[in-house]
């Protein structure tokens, strides 16, 4: 480690400044430069062309949340297959068995979720 002082983190500070500055600048400049047309239709929420109905902050079924969180869980776990696939030859048989046991644990979890009925939609 030749260089390790606070000064070496200057690029990060510049990145933060540029990123923050870009957001602030675009928001303000578009507000100033853009044309302003106010009307009921213009200010309405855009919902793919359909007329908007009611407030978005309403209670909805916990099942959506459960399905979403399970999707994220398995999605993230499957991503670990990609680095393994890239280094498949180098990792050899050891890597293969490690991945099999890893996938096995995931499958056990998946089986558990199915048996617990987390993905059943028509209960209660």
Residues forming contacts to other proteins in the complex (CB under 8 A) are 1, 4-6, 9, 105, 108, 112, 115-116
Min dist. Cβ of residue 67 to other proteins (A): 19
Helices (H), 1-124: 10-33, 40-43, 62-79, 81-86, 88-116
Q: 85 vs 108, which CB is nearer to other proteins?
A: 108
Candidates 74, 62, 64, 60; CA nearest to 113 is 74
Min dist. Cβ of residue 21 to other proteins (A): 23
Candidates 59, 60, 64; CA nearest to 119 is 64
Min dist. Cβ of residue 63 to other proteins (A): 17
Q: 4 vs 30, which CB is nearer to other proteins?
A: 4
Helix 62-79 × helix 88-116 angle, to 10°: 160
Q: 51 vs 94, which CB is nearer to other proteins?
A: 94
């Amino acid at each position: 480690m030749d260089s390790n002082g606070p000064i070496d983190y200057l690029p990060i500070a510049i990145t933060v400044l540029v990123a923050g500055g870009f957001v602030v600048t675009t928001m303000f400049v578009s507000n100033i430069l853009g044309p302003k047309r106010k009307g009921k239709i213009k200010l309405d929420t855009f919902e793919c062309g359909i007329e908007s109905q009611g407030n978005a902050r309403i209670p909805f079924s916990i099942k959506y949340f459960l399905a979403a969180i399970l999707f994220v869980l398995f999605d993230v776990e499957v991503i670990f297959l990609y680095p393994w696939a890239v280094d498949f030859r180098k990792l050899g048989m050891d890597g293969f068995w490690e991945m099999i046991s890893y996938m096995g644990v995931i499958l056990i979890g998946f089986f558990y979720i199915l048996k617990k009925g987390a993905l059943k939609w028509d209960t209660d």
